């Protein structure tokens, strides 16, 4: 019986797009009401949210495509492109915020309709908070780095908005207009760090990073249950691509074992690994434990055999 097809995650990307459009409208309205450069920075980040959500939709659609002749391991790595693009957009937005805030710091001006502007911005933040919690929950459950990245970005937007609101409230209480651009610069530094982390995580994924510590520990536990004097393992390698995990290993058993017995052991090991690590593809290779040649392929590239002597015909 074939496993059920993976659940489509694109509806959650559409949810993120809708949230971005709503928050852009609300935050732009709040900026127009108050003239706050902090709220302007918040609105600019929401534009980044929209671009990131659209990219997430495209990449989730691509990642869901089944394996084909040119992509035998599927298209799961497309999710890393989504989070990388999102991270780079955040870096660009941070630069734009700093530029705008620096100008306002040099030439401050009073804010207007602070109460109404704050109320509108709070409404936008609540929209982002609700959607972010959904994306993080689904992204963690479905092991989708694209949804997780989008969810973390929206949560950063929530905290950013909170900082901006504090800055505007402080201006209203103290009358010191330069507090607004100072908070905007702090916002830019915060989202700059978020962008750097997203780009780094995406780069690690594209570089075939191994399983996370908890998953690797679960794999080691499975192998420990099967290992003994007559069964050993080497060349155990892991990597992850989006929501998929890949494990390969060489299993050494007595050469006197029948093919049937060796195959039965491999089936048991692969089944146990799939139970311990969801969404994993396991590849095993059987070798005789007594043969020295079985220990020559532990590295990624197997050692080349010695050159033949043409004078000896071999």
pLDDT (tens digit, 9 = 90+) per residue, 180-207? 677 777 777 877 877 787 788 778 777 7
- Same domain, yes or no: 62 and 153: yes
Given a cut of 60, is residue 309 above it in pLDDT?
A: no
Q: What is the pTM of this model?
A: 0.62
The full DSSP string for 104-160 is: HHHS------HHHHHHHHHHHHHHHHHHHHHHHHHHHHHT-HHHHHHHHHHHHHHHH
Given a cut of 70, is residue 275 above it in pLDDT?
A: yes
Given a cut of 60, is residue 1 above it in pLDDT?
A: no
- Among 187, 206, 225, the domain boundary falls at 206
Tokens of 150: 């989008």
* Residue 127 CB coordination number (10 Å): 17
Asked if residue 306 is part of any domain, the answer here is: no
What is the pLDDT, as a whole number, of residue 185?
78
- Same domain, yes or no: 154 and 262: no
Q: 45 vs 60, 152, 155, CA distance in Å? A: 22, 13, 12
- Same domain, yes or no: 26 and 147: yes
Range of the domain at 226: 213-295
Edge-to-edge strand ranges of the sheet holding 244-253: 232-241, 244-253, 280-288
Domain count, the chain: 2
Give residue-wise pLDDT tens across range 213-265: 899 999 999 999 999 889 999 999 998 877 788 999 999 999 999 999 999 99
- Same domain, yes or no: 38 and 181: yes
Tokens of 8: 């489509």
Which residues are CB-neighbours of 123 under 8 A, at least 6 positions away? 26
Pick from 267, 239, 275, 240: nearest CA to 251? 267
Tokens 């995580």, residue located: 201
Alpha-carbon gap, residue 298 to 302, rounded angstroms: 7
Bridge partners, 252 (sequence order): 232, 287
- CATH assignment at residue 40: 1.20.1510.10
Picking from 34-38, 60-64, 131-135, which range would have the lowest pLDDT averaged per residue?
34-38
């Amino acid at each position: 019986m074939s496993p059920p097809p993976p659940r489509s995650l694109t509806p959650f990307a559409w949810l993120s797009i809708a949230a971005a459009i709503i928050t852009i409208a609300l935050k732009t309205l709040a900026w127009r009401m108050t003239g706050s450069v902090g709220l302007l920075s918040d609105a600019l980040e929401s534009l980044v949210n929209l671009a990131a959500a659209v990219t997430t939709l495209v990449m989730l659609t691509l990642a869901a495509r089944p394996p084909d002749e040119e992509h035998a391991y599927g298209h799961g790595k497309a999710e890393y492109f989504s989070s990388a693009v999102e991270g780079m957009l955040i870096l660009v937005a941070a630069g734009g915020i700093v530029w705008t805030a620096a100008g306002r710091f040099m030439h401050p001006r009073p804010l207007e309709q602070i109460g109404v502007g704050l109320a509108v911005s709070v409404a936008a933040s609540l929209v982002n908070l609700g959607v972010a919690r959904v994306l993080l929950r689904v992204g963690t459950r479905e092991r989708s780095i694209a949804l997780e990245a989008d969810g973390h970005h929206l949560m950063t937007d929530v905290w950013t908005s909170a900082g901006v609101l504090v800055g505007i409230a402080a201006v209203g209480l103290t009358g010191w207009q330069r507090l607004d651009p100072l908070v905007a610069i702090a916002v830019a530094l915060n989202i700059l760090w978020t962008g750097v982390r997203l780009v780094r995580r995406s780069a690690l994924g594209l570089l075939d990073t191994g399983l996370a510590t908890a998953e690797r520990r679960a794999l080691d536990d499975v192998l420990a249950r099967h290992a003994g004097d007559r069964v050993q393992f080497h060349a155990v390698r892991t990597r992850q691509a989006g929501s998929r995990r890949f494990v390969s290993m060489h299993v050494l058993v007595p050469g006197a074992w029948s093919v049937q017995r060796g195959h039965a052991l491999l089936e048991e090991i692969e089944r146990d690994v799939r139970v311990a690590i969801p969404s994993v593809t396991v590849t095993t290779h059987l070798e005789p434990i007594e043969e020295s040649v079985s220990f020559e392929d532990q590295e990624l590239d197997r050692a080349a055999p010695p050159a033949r002597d043409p004078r000896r015909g071999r």
